[in-house]
Amino acid sequence: MTLPTGPAERHRAVTAGFSARVRGASHWDAPAPVAGWLARDVVTHLLEWFPDFLRSATGLVLEQGPAPQDDLVTAWQTHADAVQRLLDGREAATPFRHPMVGEMPLPDAVDRFYTSDVFMHTWDLARATGQDERLDPQTCADLLDEMTPIEELMRSSGQYGPRVQVPDDSDAQTRLLAFIGRDPLRDRE
């Protein structure tokens, strides 16, 4: 399955996949494939970084649900729905201006920085909780093509681990995950 190309439609599809893993998780204290993180930390990360990023670039404030430690599933769903309403509504025309990434249409910024992050963290949550780890192969290939030329910048941000070596003939998902510092060939813990 290839994901939709429009930012609002892609967000809807990507968050549906992530939300299914959130609802399917039964052990939130399971180790995640991000060093030092538990399954709950994968979701909490997405709940915490994006609202501040959005507010700093647009002045928009997302609706928040309960505190993650009180109800992680509802906190996630409230957040995902708020982002979707933003993309589907009039706020999508709000100018996006951020000192670190420049100016661009808001839907493009959400797609590039946030939806892509949700997409990649879907694997982290699935791996941590023993769920379906498959990601859309074309999106994996596209992200890898977009990120490879800016590898040095990405690594210097501290947001990505060192590249993991995988066979050259690995599929796009394996190569993407290895690029962002995951070891997709390692057995589940």
16 and 77, same domain (yes or no): yes
Domain count, the chain: 2
CA dist 39 and 128 (Å) reads 6
Q: What number of H helices and E strands is found in the chain?
A: 8, 2
| Ramachandran quadrant class, 112 (left: phi over 0; alpha: psi -120 to 50; beta: rest) | alpha
CA dist 164 and 154 (Å) reads 15
In degrees, rounded to 5, the angle at the alpha carbon of residue 45 between the alpha carbons of residues 44 and 48 is: 80
Q: Which of 121, 138, 110 is nearest to 181 (CA)?
A: 121
32 and 89, same domain (yes or no): yes
| Each residue's pLDDT expressed in tens, for the chain with a length of 189 residues | 588 889 999 999 999 999 999 999 999 999 999 989 999 999 999 999 999 999 999 999 999 999 999 999 999 999 999 999 999 999 999 999 998 889 999 999 999 999 999 999 999 999 999 999 999 999 999 999 999 888 887 777 777 888 899 999 999 999 999 999 999 988 644
Query: What pLDDT, in 10s, does the model give residues 90-122?
Result: 999 999 999 888 999 999 999 999 999 999 999
122 and 165, same domain (yes or no): no
149 and 124, same domain (yes or no): no
